[in-house]
Amino acid sequence: MDPGVASARSIAGVGAIGFASLIDTSMISPVIASHALSLGADELLASVIAALYSMIAIPMSAIAGIVVDRIGRTRPMIMGLLVDAAVMMGYAYSPTPLHLLVFRALHAVSDSFVVPSALAAIGDVFRQTLGRTLAVFWTFVAISIVMGSGSATALVLRYGFGGVYATVAAITAAVCVYALIARPLQPESAVIDEDRGRGHGISEFALPVVTASLSMLALYLVIGGVVGTLPSLLVKAVGMDERSAAAQIGVFMAVSTGLSIPFFFASSRVAGKWRPNAALTVGLVAVSASSALLQLGVQASWMRLMAALVFSVALGFVFHASSYIALSLPREVRGTASGILNASGLLGVAVGSPLSALIFASGLPTGPFGTMALIALPVLALAALGLRADVTEARGP
């Protein structure tokens, strides 16, 4: 086969899997609580059903990463996608909130295998073009987030909740079939002998794994704060009504996520020319700066827009550089590192919302986002420390 065709097929596969890996949570998260309420759940049960995904996926992502390193990349990724597609139909035909709860738990378990296995496979196959390939992967993740969150409500209004689940099931099943037939990543055969016999353990790479994971945590703490507490700030400090405040959150996340795409490729350039920690440092500076802008300028629309623009830099650089660091580790620990990375992001969202609300209610002088700007600083110092240590193996743009 012509190498150019094979390369195009592989890149297309990376994009498709990146899109499928987040389209489910992007489309379902905005509507799952409403679906539970429509089935007769009270507010508490609906909240539990919505939150159950993160509660299970946080530990399961770390466990999945270990499994991926033990049994390979392809089977966990395919099974995760396949079960995800089946769970969508379970959601659609759930007759009671308790059925929805069961399928929510199953979804969290199956979905936990997709991202760690996909990332580990990318690390195995694209050794010379790791930076660019990760930029493509995260680009399609960002596209799925923007498209999924933006279309979910419209699909519910037109086709009901089943329309959302059927759409996700069709996309996930199509990508699963494509991955089975085309095998675009070919994770088991590309670099099968790499690092074999060295007996690496994840503890040998504590500094890069902790640095990458804390960076994702710092980033997602801000996301949790934006989603959970910024609406209250806008209502109480600016005087917006709740509908307008909710719309502002949608604008902030859509702008920052959509504009993050070029920064994935910018991070690739920085990581390739210097090293991933340099790109991660840029991202963490943006995390701290955007948080400070939100805190200082919450009452001014132009300051909130500026914060969203700076946060797009944070998203692009932190997502890309942290995964680059994880995948630059030896083959036998890439899945574990990717699983820990994924768990850190989920933990950040889960903690960020209540933590920012608690800080807001306590009247702490720095405020919720000022505090998060400060939290990012020690992580930034840790990333800068990594600039002096050669903790990665993969090079290339």
Q: What is the pTM of this model?
A: 0.86
**pLDDT for the residue numbered 86:** 93
Distances (CA, A) of 229 to 68, 111, 353: 36, 27, 6
Q: What is the pLDDT of residue 338?
A: 92
pLDDT in tens, 151-165: 877 888 888 888 889
pLDDT, residue 3, reads: 38
Burial per residue of 8-47, b for 16 or more beta-carbon CB atoms within 10 angstroms, e otherwise:
ebbbebbbbbbbbbbbbbbbbbbbbbebbeebebeeebbe
CATH hierarchy code of domain 3-182: 1.20.1250.20
- The pLDDT of residue 394: 42
Given a contact cutoff of 8 angstroms between Cβ atoms, the answer to whether 128 and 84 are in contact is no
For the domain spanning 203-386, the CATH number is: 1.20.1250.20
Instruction: Output the pLDDT for position 61.
Output: 93
In this prediction, residues 10-25 reach a mean pLDDT of: 86
Residues of the chain with CATH 1.20.1250.20: 3-182, 203-386
Q: What percent of the chain has pLDDT over 90?
A: 41
Indicate the SS3 state at residue 184: coil
Could you report the per-residue pLDDT of 31-79, keeping only the tens digit for each? Answer: 888 889 888 888 888 888 888 898 999 999 999 999 998 988 888 889 9
Helix, strand, coil abundance in the chain, percent, nearest 5: 80, 0, 20
- Quick: pLDDT tens for 175-221: 988 888 767 666 444 344 444 445 567 777 888 899 999 999 999 99
**Could you report the per-residue pLDDT of 100-132, keeping only the tens digit for each?**
999 999 999 999 999 999 999 888 888 788 889
